[in-house]
Structure 1
């Protein structure tokens, strides 16, 4: 097991545990989501809070980590998302990352921490912060606090507006007297103000609204769970945005991170894979494997090898190869190697060009679901120890 994997299950810290009188319910457990735009800054704050080197300052920025520990008499769980406040993040990335944060803080976070800087808080940053927070819940500000790590050279009006929306809650690590205990006290004040209740991220959440957008009313009221696979993040984001722009029936769409040539350990790759599948309830109806309409390169081939290795042949009946064309004038002919790949994964494929209607793709997917009788790929199917089941309609 890798060090990162073991950190997910940390149950203690280097701080001494003190005996104390019985605490009220709102003092027993604390789930915190730490949002920022820098891996090193987020790691610094997370480590300060937990009193140990829990987060790696060189970890991949797109990985959401959860680390547990104790602070005074409180069990604390920190969910660290170091890139969610970057202004160049797409709406699809926001919804995907928010979903991970919500899943890791189940049944919901008590506190959300915005890690912001005085000299890097513009109107664009404010818009990003509001979009991200709205993706959690319309009541999110009742649970949110702003944390800064630098002394201000001058007053930043945008930052002050954000702090005001967070009920004027602000903590600065630059104060000489700042301590993790002081920060914990502010967290406890937030929990107490909310009567010990965690944030209900399903209620009023823009994220859940976006994720449940639909296609045509081919089967009204029936939810379809899709997982987007492939080595090219740009192609995956492109098709994801187009699918989510449609209306009609409910769709849950999850982006499976590239499995090959990552900095993640084997254990972490498996954990991320299991998490993506588990986010689809009751299971995955269709995996869309995105490849370019060109001779497959070594990265494409290696990614498909990893998918086949991890998911085994069980994935084949749930797989559709989506071939992305850059021009409508390209032919629908396939080279021998691509044909071989399609056959290996069950034989289904669909060409998708600049002017292709997503509704046509969805009709092919619906046809595929009828062929499989709406059977789903389950979380435990990855390890090969479960039978498939049919999604109840």
Structure 2
């Protein structure tokens, strides 16, 4: 039996033991997380806790197991109701408790309760620790063998995650905990992961300072916009220092790939070079295509975003996260390109999908670009187009093949200024998806309540969720 010592908070209280194996547990199901933690430690070290997740912290237990010093950090980061605005601070705390760095993240998953949205959220959280976190990750599935098999076959989200972890997968067994020894064996010769992604203004890493105030975050936001507006980004090219405006990230979206490519060419202007047939095919494909240009002293990233209605649900999530992650620190402007003509059903479906995935949070970052023919130009909008513009926040502009990039850039920079340099980041996307999941769960509860009422009346009526 292991002897265990618990701790919760600052590394200032207790110095980290450099010789131990540090294991971070992440999972949606709190009771399963406790069960795994207690099995690893060989003792009932983690107990049931209150359900107020906004007030809970990660918990650290140290013990000697199989003649090894083990530190287990149990986090609530993946709990479905964990407050989105507290995730970064919770990551900071977890990093502090696992100082100088975790050896492994153990993802405690159940085949019967893990979706593609869960996979993307998990990857987002791991990326907050380090871009290398996936290389230090093992999936531990805890479904009972008799029940889990049929789910294992169907659950591509977990299977894909296992592949991304380098096939790091173990199965939990209560009767035969040999998987624990296998876990220790796999990580004991591994270097620990340095989680220094977040640094404060004074250059302090998260291991050195966890208590920065909310006013500091506001200062950082204001500084970010100041940098963007006042051209303070400096780079080095061939040993010669060059100063230019900060990078601007633009995403082109819409149903028509030809229109998106036309606008992309306007941004590239005279710097556009003829591409080979392979790249032309890629432009029309179902993946994000990123291009970099220098326009008026500013570095521009232009991403052609594939039509969402042409993708599977799994690929929609993959390309959406890829699109936003390609734009560090986030997307400054989404440009939705539509024709100056009656919208097709495909156009309408694409706009529905964009709002479904990105939510209304996209409205402050989006401009509707209306493609006109050179021989037929008017600023009069038909009722349908006007409705689209209002639905997406009210900004619009007209373009044709003679549109000057300087005119377009002026409109975009005005948008950035109105938004004080704020952008649509991976965190914003995750908030949107979490909000959607919570609404879905709430809807499920209401439907279940209605079904139970029907059942109490002797009617086994089932309600279909579309």
TM-score interval for Structure 1 and Structure 2 normalised by the shorter chain: 0.3 to 0.5
More helix by share: 2
TM-score (normalised: structure 1): 0.46
TM-score (normalised: structure 2): 0.39
